[in-house]
Amino acid sequence: MRADISGILNDWPYEPGKLNVRLVEGDDGNTYVQVRVDVGILQMHASGRPDGQRPEGYESLLEQLEAEHDDADADEAPFTLSTEQCQALREEAAQYHQRYMAMLALDRYDEVVRDTTRNLRVLDFCNKHAERDADREMLEQFRPYITMMRARAMASLALNDNEAKAAVLAIDSGLDALRLHYDEHGQSQLYDDSSEVRMLRGMRDALVPKLPVSQKSELKKRLQAALEQENYELAAILRDELRMLAE
């Protein structure tokens, strides 16, 4: 077998300024994601762990450690993650990040939702079980971005089915998750200026004119319920939505 891949690189030239991605079928029957970079080609498995490894027979290190947690004796010392394990989980999550970015370029939104959902599980797992605070904080900084990407992909899936209302609901769910994140970290003042929030709001603003007329009556009902519950912050948001519908 020839080790030189010059022919493959010549057949697929690198294009600066864009994400060069394609899906290929391997000789082993598996589907691979290939990303053309300036110095070569990055290849990942389209499903499972991107590098194709199966730690201890599990799909990924996350699944292995989750199984160990489930099997741990509750009467003994609580299950914890060492610094080394957290670092390994971060390195594994970086592989999934590279893949879901490639899948986004291919408009493969199902796979983007799959991998972003999986990486949010990593954050939750480390946040709950890491021995050191530093290991919890290391990943939490990425939660807004992953949350935004997941909401964006879910909204895109809905739009592919001509479901503008479902797309807006997916974005609203993402915005709610982002608000919760900033509130829990005592950073509520950062919410409105967050680039992830601005991105989702921009996407939402573009979708509002596509909503059916019946959405207006639904928003009015939600507004009335919010006022009755004295949830004035939600009421203000719903009023803005009704105003945008009117415009």
Q: Using H for helix, E for strand and C for coil, what is the string for 45-97? A: ECCCCCCCCCHHHCCCHHHHHHHHHHHCCCCCCCCCECHHHHHHHHHHHHHHH
**124, amino acid identity:** D
pLDDT of 246 reads 64
pTM: 0.81
- Cα angle 37, 42, 44; round to 5: 150
Q: What is the DSSP letter of 188?
A: G
Q: What b-and-e string marks burial along 228-240, b requiring 16 or more CB atoms within 10 Å of the CB?
A: eeeeeeebebbee
Lowest mean pLDDT among 39-53, 73-87, 99-113: 73-87
Q: Residue 213 pLDDT > 60, yes or no?
A: no
How would residue 210 be classed by pLDDT, with cut points 50, 70 and 90? low
Distance CA 84, CA 66 (A): 16
10 versus 72: the higher-pLDDT residue is 10
Q: Residue 75 pLDDT > 80, yes or no?
A: no
pLDDT of 224 reads 84
Give kind and range of the element (H or E) at residue 165. helix 164-184
User: Reduced to 3 states, what is the DSSP secondary structure of residue 20?
Assistant: strand
- Determine the longest span between alpha carbons in the chain, in angstroms: 73
Q: Is 12 in contact with 36 (CB distance < 8 Å)?
A: yes
- Cα angle 34, 149, 197; round to 5: 150
Write the burial class of residue 206 (CB in 10 Å: 0-12 exposed, 13-18 middle, 19+ buried): exposed
Average pLDDT over residues 105-127: 96
How far is the CA of 160 from the CAs of 7, 43, 175, in angstroms?
Answer: 37, 27, 21
